[in-house]
Amino acid sequence: MKEIELADRVKQLPPYLFARISELITEKRNAGVDVISLGIGDPDLPTPSHVLDSLAVAAQNNENHRYPESDGLPALREAIARWYSSRHGVTLDPDSEIVPLIGSKEGIAHLPLCLINAGDVSLVTDPGYPVYEIGTMFAGGRNVRLPLLEANDYLPDLSAIDPSDAARAKILWLNYPNNPTGAIADLAFFEKAIDWASANDVLIAHDLAYADVAFDGYKPPSILEVSGAKDVAIEFNSLSKTFNMTGWRVAMAVGNAQVIDALTRVKTNIDSGIPQAIQEMAITALDDPRDSIESHNQIYEKRRDRALSVLRELGLTVSDPKASLYIWARLPQGVESSADYAAKLIDSVGVVVTPGASYGENGEGYIRISLTTPDDRLDEALVRLQEFDSKR
């Protein structure tokens, strides 16, 4: 068969990080290995039952069997506005400053199509979520990586950005609470970022996917809480981690009205929106009390504490993350690369972790451990980590 010539953008496309992890898990399980995955941040806790009940009711409505409204039900946009008002004290116009998304990943990948022309720059954090770079590549842009260093609390040094890169930049990607490091940012940092973006005519795209997975009484802020933020910023938020709804694909982009309009126009030409029964389900989730969120966070916090204790015993350097679903652990000096460490771990004891280098060159020397594994399996994984260490 004649080989088909693929587009350059596909030739340049690396395998998606978590797809490869899933393949590796499947390979090992097919070989009879009892694999425990601490690699992917997919909540094991179920969607709250009352939210599922609302979906069952909505699914019986014949109107919800037809094409959805691609820009989201007005009632859903109003519910998102109520959520931001009660949770962050931020006022949003449901008609111009909100667009629902089929998961925030979809919106993140599509945003560069709204802003990036050939040769334009996206400023992406390293380590960081791979989709920030991929969306820019699809749009024909160039990615410039901003180091996130432990010595700087994993915050980018905006003053160190090359002026020529700043002049070509269209988007600055931020993500706090951070994936993969679990780092947090305060309003003072966001204020500096807003000032920098205003001075350089750059849009800030802030990914707030982990806003409501937080511990020790900490409440992550929205960048939109900063005065004037909507002039230069949009924010991605999601029901995936907040309500354990990763499989239902509901999220939102909010903020700058011009950019929200552009993203809506891109989406209406590419997809037909979230199924309406799922949109009604999302309204139920957003309008209900935060009881389920708090109870889920208590479970994650206990898992965090157990994992931190064992990791420190094994000589890994970790801090207590105040938010996100992850522990970012620095490997001991003299240990092989993060990829080699992760490969030996699964081969030796059947435990999957994510090598830090998968998130960028500044992630080398670290591994990411997810807390989205049932308690008994997490405890077993920690025992296996101790066994792995004793064999080394």
The yes-or-no verdict on residue 237 having pLDDT over 70 is: yes
Question: What residue ranges do the domains of the chain occupy?
Answer: 8-46+291-391, 50-287
User: Quick check: 8 pLDDT over 70?
Assistant: yes
Q: What pLDDT, on the 0 to 100 scale, is given for residue 92?
A: 98
Minimum mean pLDDT range among 193-202, 306-315, 338-347: 338-347
Locate tokens 């924010």: which residue? 235
What pLDDT score does 290 carry?
81
Q: Which residue has the tokens 């160039």?
A: 142
Give percent of the chain with pLDDT exceeding 70.
Answer: 97
- Mean pLDDT of the chain, nearest integer: 94
Residue 7 is given by DSSP the state: P
Taking a C-beta distance cutoff of 8 angstroms, is the pair 147, 126 a contact? yes
What is the C-alpha separation between 71 and 83, in angstroms, rounded? 18
Could you please state the CATH topology (level 3) that the domain comprising 8-46+291-391 is classified under: Aspartate Aminotransferase, domain 1 (3.90.1150)
**Closest C-alpha to 77, from 290, 259, 280:** 280
List, for residues 157-210, the tens digit of each pLDDT value: 999 999 999 999 999 999 999 999 999 999 999 999 999 999 999 999 999 999
Tokens standing for residue 141:
């842009």
pTM: 0.95
Considering the domain 50-287, what is its CATH architecture?
Answer: 3-Layer(aba) Sandwich (3.40)
pLDDT surpasses 90 at 149: yes
pLDDT of residue 19: 65
Q: Where are the extended beta strands (E) located within the chain?
A: 36-37, 98-101, 121-126, 142-147, 169-174, 203-207, 233-238, 251-255, 326-330, 351-352, 354-355, 366-370
What CA dihedral angle connects 7, 8, 10 and 16, to 10 degrees?
180
- Report which of residues 390 and 383 the model is more confident about: 383
The mean pLDDT of 52-75, rounded to a whole number, is 93
pLDDT tens-digit readout, 14-62: 766 666 667 777 888 888 889 999 988 999 999 999 999 999 999 999 9
Residue 368: name the closest of 45, 9, 37, 60 by CA. 37
Predicted local confidence at residue 289, as pLDDT: 79
Q: Which among 157, 16, 55 is positioned nearest to 24, based on CA atoms? A: 16
CA-based nearest residue to 248, from 218, 279, 226:
279
Which has the higher per-residue pLDDT, 59 or 390?
59
pLDDT of the residue at 3: 87
Q: Write down the pLDDT at residue 25.
A: 78
The SS3 of residue 193 is helix
When pLDDT is averaged across residues 65-75 and rounded to a whole number, the result is 90
Q: Residue 9: which pLDDT band, with cuts at 50, 70 and 90?
A: confident
Q: What is the DSSP string of 204-223?
A: EEEE-TTTT-B-TT--PPPG
Task: Retrieve residue 203's tokens.
Answer: 């849009």
Give dist(CA 362, CA 146) in Å, integer. Answer: 9
- Determine which of 123-132, 224-233, 345-354 has the lowest per-residue pLDDT on average: 345-354
